[in-house]
Chain A
Amino acid sequence: DTGVSQDPRHKITKRGQNVTFRCDPISEHNRLYWYRQTLGQGPEFLTYFQNEAQLEKSRLLSDRFSAERPKGSFSTLEIQRTEQGDSAMYLCASSLTSLAGVPDTQYFGPGTRLTVL
């Protein structure tokens, strides 16, 4: 068990550019979550997948944001036309949820810190 990994760990980009982040969950976990954390705040939910299906998206996820989990394994989060307000830590988490839908503990990756200049 290697834990949740995220790549890159840091990303600096100019306003208006597109960026893509990758998350690799714990291998047997069927749920994958994306959160955004700004300085001094708790993480805020963005979206989550069960296997390859995207089950919920937050209102925080504007149409410039898109997430995929094409084969139910790794996931990507893309931000198009980045804005300075997108600067934050983007956290990925995964969990193993039973068929009955009982949520289990979410395990977090180290995050990707995005800075938009």
Chain B
Amino acid sequence: AQTVTQSQPEMSVQEAETVTLSCTYDTSESDYYLFWYKQPPSRQMILVIRQEAYKQQNATENRFSVNFQKAAKSFSLKISDSQLGDAAMYFCAYNTDKLIFGTGTRLQVFP
């Protein structure tokens, strides 16, 4: 069975700095998708970034980028130029037919 592990329950970063959130996963499949979702307090889950496993190039969306290491089964999220609005729970997720989520990392952003 596929599993997703986020080993950092909480992280903090100062505004304008860079932070990296870690995620590892376990699967025997070769073709899959990986996602980072953001869930602000009392607000709905929104997509941050998506990575197809067959693509070697790391996905980038504005200030958000990933470091996808397929052999190591690692999928970290880098947030550059952090903003106060980035404060939220961040979930790493693995997708075949359904999403399998990690336990999340709570990101605090300090001014």
Chain A interface residues (CB < 8 Å from chain B): 33, 35, 40-45, 48, 55-56, 91, 93, 103, 105-111
Contacts and interface: CB of A to CB of B under 8 A. Distances in A.
A22 to B, nearest CB: 16
A112 to B, nearest CB: 11
Contacts of B45: 43, 91, 93, 108
Interface in B68-111: 91, 93, 95-104
Interface of B: 4, 33, 35, 37, 43-47, 50, 91, 93, 95-104
Give the 7 A-B residue pairs with the shortest CB-CB distance, closest first: A42-B101, A108-B45, A110-B44, A45-B98, A42-B91, A43-B101, A42-B104
Nearest to B33: A103
| Interface SS, B side | strand
A61 B73 CA distance: 29
A95 B93 CA distance: 15
A108 B101 CA distance: 14
Given A42-B104, A43-B101, A108-B46, A103 B91 contact: no
A91 B44 CA distance: 9
Contacts of A45: 98-100
